[in-house]
């Protein structure tokens, strides 16, 4: 039977009205702007990306956030502050993202944090370790996830103070992260051991270390112990040259990040043994929350997790919970939701402190060895970041 003109119009109206009851608008994705140094530092950032991809998959499979899926607009920041700011601007202005997340290098994170403050957009700094990000250059819209240089230096200084060594030398990349790590370690160790002295420093350019010259200079100081802050390709070159020249023989080495599989695993059986390090013994952590994460990650990616994997995963779990608690993606609501936000993670519970807008995430401290041709941490313990951060009232005084 043919529809009359009136009946056809009525049907169209009814069809339109019925669509109002569908979650069409509610299903519009929440766009998150994510950036990191994927081409320049793939050892950490590729696992980081796999981590946040797993988190987003889990979030969307469980119904999304506020009934909407998360959509990640991911970009490479080039590992350069200027490129990162340009990328952040494109994500905000062209892609219309609700907030920004990511970055690894400290000077890149600081540049994006400044941009975020100017544009009044939330920035979840996933990996930059400089404490300037949350203290001297902190702002209302920036929140930091990983334990920073002060916290990791405090953990290592606590153990270094127990060593008999009195004469120390340091080696660190000559940029924000390296400088802040050395400054914190020296200050914290001297407080616990006023008898120690620092007899020499080496500041190789980031990713351009002249390992032979650096090792030779360190040996000339005749230290009893070395504090190492190099990572990535610089770490590999430093370790190989140091072993060849006997720099580590009879000397303690204390190394920030030295136990992170992202940086140490490429050395394989060449990895140093006996170093005191912060790191991530993914193969030995048997807490229920970590086992569940490890199994899900390995199933999704057919690979073992690195620390970057955990950071990426937790970053997007934080984002999802903040949006859920805020009830919107408005900056002011997100900021209030993030302050004091508590979350269970593969490493245990963390809280985003209101006083300085950084999380209480901790890390693992132990000794390096080689087992079955691969670097492994032994005699490790997990250190809660809250136990090493300055009290809230002191942290507030450190902010502008």
69: domain CATH number is 3.40.50.2300
353: left (phi over 0), alpha (psi -120 to 50) or beta: beta
Evaluate if residue 8 carries a pLDDT over 90: no
- Residue 399 is assigned to a structural domain of this protein: no
Same-domain check for residues 254 and 180: yes
Question: Helices marked H in the chain — which ranges?
Answer: 5-19, 42-61, 81-93, 106-119, 149-160, 176-192, 211-220, 232-244, 261-264, 288-301, 307-326, 331-338, 392-398
How many domains, the chain?
2
Domain assignment present for residue 225? The answer is: yes
Is 100 in the same domain as 79?
Answer: yes
Q: Supply the pLDDT for residue 27.
A: 81
Residues 165 and 274 in one domain: yes
Answer yes or no: is pLDDT of 3 > 60: no
Q: Quick one: pLDDT at residue 28?
A: 96
> Mean pLDDT throughout 344-352?
98
Q: Report the largest interatomic distance among the alpha carbons of the chain, rounded to a whole angstrom.
A: 100
Higher-confidence residue of 22 and 239: namely: 239
* Domain that includes residue 229, residue range: 150-285+364-387
pLDDT of 13 higher than 80: no
Are both 178 and 45 inside the same structural domain?
no
Tell me, yes or no, whether 52 lies in a domain: yes
Is residue 92 in some structural domain? yes
Higher pLDDT, 328 or 10: 328
Residue 5 lies in a domain: no
Compute the 3-state secondary structure of the chain and give helix, strand, coil in percent, each to the nearest 5. Answer: 45, 20, 35
354 within 8 A of 339, measured Cβ to Cβ: yes
If you average pLDDT over residues 80-102, what whole number do you get?
98
In a domain, 179, yes or no: yes
Tell me: do 116 and 246 sit in the same domain. no
- In terms of domains, do 375 and 230 share one? yes
pLDDT bin (cut points 50, 70, 90) of residue 24 is very low
State mean pLDDT over 301-327: 98
Q: Does residue 16 fall inside a structural domain?
A: no
Q: Looking at residue 288, what is its pLDDT? A: 98
Judged against a pLDDT cut of 70, whether residue 64 lies above it is answered with: yes
Q: Does position 106 have pLDDT exceeding 90, yes or no?
A: yes
Q: What is the mean pLDDT of residues 332-343?
A: 98
* 161 falls within a domain: yes
> Are 144 and 75 contained in the same domain?
yes
34 and 90 within one domain: yes
Determine the pLDDT at residue 127. 97
Same domain, 171 and 128: no
Q: What is the pLDDT, as a whole number, of residue 117?
A: 98
Global pTM value: 0.93
Together in a domain, 246 and 369: yes
pLDDT over 60 (residue 26): no
Residues 42 and 54 in one domain: yes
Same domain, 176 and 277: yes
Over pLDDT 90: what percentage of the chain? 93
């Amino acid at each position: 039977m043919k529809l009359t003109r009136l009946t056809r119009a009525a049907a169209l109206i009814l069809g339109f009205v019925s669509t109002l009851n569908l979650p069409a608008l509610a299903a519009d994705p929440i766009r998150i702007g994510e950036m990191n140094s994927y081409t320049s530092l793939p050892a950490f950032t590729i696992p980081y990306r796999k981590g946040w991809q797993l988190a987003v998959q889990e979030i969307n499979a469980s119904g999304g956030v506020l009934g909407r899926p998360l959509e990640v607009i991911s970009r490479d920041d080039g590992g350069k502050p200027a490129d990162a700011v340009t990328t952040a601007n494109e994500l905000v202005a062209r892609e219309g993202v609700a907030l920004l997340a990511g970055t690894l290098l400290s000077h890149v994170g600081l540049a994006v944090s400044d941009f975020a403050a100017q544009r009044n957009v939330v920035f979840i700094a996933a990996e930059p370790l400089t404490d300037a990000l949350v203290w001297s250059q902190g702002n209302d819209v920036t929140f930091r996830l990983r334990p920073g240089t002060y916290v990791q230096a405090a953990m290592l200084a606590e153990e270094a103070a127990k060593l008999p060594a009195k004469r120390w030398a340091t080696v660190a990349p000559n940029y924000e992260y390296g400088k802040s790590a050395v400054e914190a370690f020296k200050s914290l160790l001297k407080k616990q051991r006023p008898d120690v002295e620092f007899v020499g420093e080496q500041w190789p350019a980031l990713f351009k270390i002249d390992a032979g010259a650096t090792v030779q200079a360190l040996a000339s100081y005749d230290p009893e112990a070395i504090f190492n802050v190099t990572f990535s390709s610089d770490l590999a070159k430093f370790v190989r040259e140091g072993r060849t020249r006997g720099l580590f023989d009879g000397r303690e080495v204390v190394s920030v990040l030295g136990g992170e599989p992202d940086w140490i695993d490429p050395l394989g059986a060449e990895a140093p043994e006996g170093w005191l390090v912060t790191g991530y013994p993914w193969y030995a952590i048997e807490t229920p929350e970590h086992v569940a994460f490890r199994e899900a990650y390995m199933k999704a990616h057919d690979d073992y997790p690195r620390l970057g994997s955990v950071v990426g995963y937790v970053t997007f779990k934080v984002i999802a919970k903040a949006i859920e608690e805020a009830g919107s993606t408005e900056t002011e609501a997100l900021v209030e939701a993030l302050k004091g936000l508590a979350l269970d993670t593969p490493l245990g519970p963390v809280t985003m402190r209101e006083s300085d807008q950084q999380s209480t995430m901790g890390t693992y401290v132990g000794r390096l060895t080689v087992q079955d041709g691969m670097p492994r941490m032994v005699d490790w313990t997990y250190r809660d970041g809250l136990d090493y951060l300055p009290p809230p009232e002191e942290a507030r005084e450190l902010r502008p």
